[in-house]
Chain A
């Protein structure tokens, strides 16, 4: 595995450093601008938004949109706000992320340390599955879920997210484990350690960074999924994104943009939290394996 080295700092003069900071700050603004538009408008009363300048800070600050989005807004016939849908999303995403991470780790382990004839082809097929556009699989997937009798249930959604998450998880873990010294595995084998023992005792303890990468990637994708969530959820398993879409995309209703933005930020909080908290480990994890060719 790569070892963590110092920054490759090259430049020296004060002028260059000032320039670097200027550019970095410019991009900070670039990345924050849309978030600013959302946050600023989520604290405005609707009249102020209708009146025009969307880039300005609110004249009158109000928390009402946030309260509405959380617990009062009409989502379908129930005026529940987004609150109840958070739980649904967690119930779907947590098992699906856990499953696809565990399976990805095992797959990566097999594909690098227990190679058999044809392992390359199997890996290629798993990898290619990352690139299938989800709109294609909608109808056949509905058929299969119906056949299994889990259409419209949380289990069905977990299965779907899990299946379409296998590809990336396997890719990440395979690249990570490829750099792991095979001699250690061979030595353990000679000592009589079994397949699972080797995995649990030797590989898993040092898999922290790549687990972070995989979890972040899967969590973001699955939390933000709309297409599967809308098509395969039932009335009591509707995930967050579908509820958010119902809040903001109603076509002939009055649009309360302030509530929409408040809701959108709320819906994004779990993923934002994951990114910000684990951001440090994320880069380390990428460094340790995911970016290796």
Chain B
């Protein structure tokens, strides 16, 4: 049954691709921020795929600020009336663009032909569709509630991977007693917020949804929020004094080298471990943030097509190629994330990748799939940054937990 579906969509994809290939396709100009190393090489697979269909690729990479510099450039391009054919986008940026320009290409024809509706989880579709029309092709799903643990340090601290907040504290204490930095962390607003995501999710999926997605005042300023901030302060006490401003990959390096016990970071961190020649399960362990097994906070990169006046075959070809199971597998193996469609075989993935795919499927089936606040998938940019401000101020000791919860309400209200 599952295999049948897989075959069917593959064939459909091939059919559409073939069709697009025959048409006189233009080049695609692609704005993205996968600019260096393995992920850029992985995107090259897409380029080659399109080249084989006669669609040229004009590369517009802009790195910086986790995509925010690329969005600045996109704004300049759109204002100049010179929008790129396709642009990488995240979360609420897609909604904002769809809402404010309205000149995004409609991908319904290719989506229907390939049956995207059936294979893309509803939580993702929420971002890929605008007014019921497909406007974006999701490339991957990162999940952010991961913990990366040094295996040797974990063994020395009792050997059992923590599954609850209390167990996590026990392990962290043991690591501290063993003389290493228990928690490797970089003090940048988005990293603080990434941990905060997991902490809030650990206090309950309903609470997460009420606070970050519904932006409910009672949840934002209530006792649970105070508790979340208290837990942040507890975690802070396991971080070394030297954390602020540290890049996330230097924090990963601490775990790789064994000078720190664990890091709470999205699945892109896996790349650092693999690059350093470490093996999942042997040298390091990937677990969900304690208390969030079965739940996933995600962050999905998608390609949005800008309407170029006429329906463009090359854009459809690109959308189709992005969604092809072969590309989704090849790309995500390198990227550390999981495919955006649920019917891609997991053969090519390592243990952490397989776990990631299983967790994603489980969360999707059980309704535990939520957009990540820290990565712009729970609320608009203004709100997200307002929450950053409070979280990072609290983490740096400017507020106590009660004040932080109060500030949270004000900040979110102000930003709306």
- Residues in chain A within 8 A of chain B (CB atoms): 47, 50-52, 73-79, 138-139, 141-143, 145-146, 151-152, 230-232, 234-236, 238, 242, 245-256
Contacts and interface: CB of A to CB of B under 8 A. Distances in A.
9 contacts: A74-B35, A78-B44, A79-B44, A145-B80, A146-B81, A152-B77, A235-B58, A246-B35, A254-B38
Tell me which of B47, B58, B63 has the highest count of chain A C-beta atoms within 10 A of its own C-beta. Answer: B63
A254 B75 CA distance: 28
Given A235-B29, A251-B66, A78 B80 contact: no
Given A246-B35, A250-B34, A254-B271, A142 B76 contact: yes
B249 A255 contact: yes
Given A231-B72, A249-B64, A76 B40 contact: yes
The dominant DSSP class at the B interface is helix
B256 A152 contact: no
Contacts of A47: 276
Contacts of A50: 253, 256-257, 276
Given A138-B72, A231-B72, A256 B37 contact: yes
Interface string B32-57: 11111111110110110000000001
B268 interface: yes
B65 A251 contact: yes
Contacts of A234: 58, 60
Given A77-B47, A249-B64, 6 more contacts: A77-B59, A77-B61, A151-B81, A246-B35, A246-B61, A251-B66
B271 A76 contact: no
B337 to A, nearest CB: 9
Nearest to A139: B79
Determine the interface band of chain B, counting residues with CB < 8 A from chain A.
35 or more
Nearest to A232: B76
A11 B161 CA distance: 71
A71 to B, nearest CB: 15
B62 interface: yes
B67 interface: yes
Contacts of A242: 62
Nearest to B59: A76
Nearest to A135: B72
Nearest to B31: A235
Given A50-B253, A142-B76, A231-B73, A252 B36 contact: no
Interface string B1-45: 000000000000000000000000000010011111111110110
B82 A152 contact: yes
A156 to B, nearest CB: 9
A145 B253 CA distance: 44
B33 A250 contact: yes
Contact of B36 (A230, A236, A238, A247): A247
- Which 10 A/B pairs are nearest by Cβ-Cβ distance? A146-B80, A76-B61, A246-B35, A151-B80, A250-B36, A252-B268, A231-B76, A249-B63, A142-B76, A235-B58
A76 B47 CA distance: 11
Contacts of A231: 72-73, 76-77
Contacts of B40: 74-77, 250, 253
A51 B72 contact: no
Nearest to A256: B37
B69 interface: yes
Interface string B227-261: 00000000000000000000101000100110000
Given A138-B76, A235-B58, A230 B37 contact: no
Contacts of B66: 251-252
Contact of B41 (A74, A142, A230): A74
B93 interface: no
Tell me which of B37, B38, B65 has the highest count of chain A C-beta atoms within 10 A of its own C-beta. Answer: B37
Contacts of A255: 247, 249
B272 interface: yes
B63 A245 contact: yes
A254 B274 CA distance: 10
Contact of A139 (B38, B59, B76, B335): B76
A146 B82 contact: yes
A151 B38 CA distance: 31
B35 A249 contact: yes
Nearest to B277: A47
Contacts of B253: 50
A253 B59 contact: no
A250 B73 CA distance: 16
Given A138-B72, A245-B63, A79 B33 contact: no
Contacts of B34: 76, 250, 253
B38 A251 contact: no
Contacts of B77: 142, 151-152, 231
Tell me which of A79, A139, A245, A253 has the highest count of chain B C-beta atoms within 10 A of its own C-beta. Answer: A253
A223 to B, nearest CB: 19
B225 to A, nearest CB: 28
A151 B80 CA distance: 7
A246 B46 CA distance: 19
Tell me which of B61, B142, B335 has the highest count of chain A C-beta atoms within 10 A of its own C-beta. Answer: B61
A250 B63 contact: yes
Contacts of B76: 138-139, 141-142, 231-232
Tell me which of A77, A152, A231 has the highest count of chain B C-beta atoms within 10 A of its own C-beta. Answer: A77
Given A245-B64, A246-B63, A254 B35 contact: no
A75 B59 CA distance: 10
Contacts of A145: 80
Nearest to A152: B82
Contacts of B35: 74-76, 246-247, 249-250, 253
Given A73-B36, A139-B75, A146-B79, A254 B63 contact: no
Interface in B78-99: 79-82
Nearest to A151: B80
Contacts of A138: 72, 75-76
Contacts of A253: 34-40, 268, 271
A137 B151 CA distance: 52
A58 B80 CA distance: 48
Contacts of A250: 33-37, 39-40, 63
A235 B60 contact: yes
Given A50-B257, A142-B76, A79 B41 contact: yes
Contacts of B81: 146, 151
B72 A78 contact: no
